[in-house]
Amino acid sequence: MTTRLLFVCLGNICRSPSAENIMNHLIQQRQLGERFLCDSAGTASYHTGSSPDRRMAQAAQAQGIDLVGRARQVTAHDLAQFDYVLAMDRQNYRDLLALDPVGQYSDRVRLMCDFCRRHPDQEVPDPYYGGPEGFQYVIDLLLDACEGLLDYVLDHPVAPSR
């Protein structure tokens, strides 16, 4: 069975595409490609169709990770389609829960930093208006969170429900 992961931030050009591509990188390293499907989206439509932010792409490339994809806005349908919907911060988390007013899929929505092992952060900071060090920090933070998430998902298989 394939476990489906959706990473969500505000605009889907910095944090969530980084998490998606970092997770795909880790999945490839562990040769688990057939077991996972990753995607990313934003709660806002500001950047729909855009590539990942070039500063974020540079920070990821420094860690040997290519950022690919095009920004899209998350939909209520996504909550039904993905096993885990990972919010980068509390506002994204609230926005995702608002797409599901009856709470049918609320157990699928989690905060990305819940899976960190080395970082104490509770939210992934948005580096958009800062300097290069902010982008580098987010890549390091997401590497930590994605490693923890991957191990968690492998230890807690999703029951087939679709």
Which residues is 5 bridged to in the sheet? 38, 84
- Residue 116: active-site member: no
Q: Which of 53, 126, 144, 146 is catalytic?
A: 126
- Residue 117: active-site member: no
Q: Which of 4, 9, 113, 116 is catalytic?
A: 9
| Interior/surface letters 12-37, b for 16+ CB within 10 angstroms, e for the rest | bbbbbbbbbbbbbbbbeeeeeeeebb
Q: Which two tokens stand for residue 82?
A: 């993905």
Q: Which two tokens stand for residue 134?
A: 């902010």
Q: Which of 4, 15, 72, 108 is catalytic?
A: 15
Amino acid at 93: Y
- Residue 151: active-site member: no
Label residue 93 exposed, middle or buried (CB < 10 Å: 0-12, 13-18, 19+). Answer: buried
Label residue 109 exposed, middle or buried (CB < 10 Å: 0-12, 13-18, 19+). Answer: buried
Residues with catalytic roles: 9, 15, 126
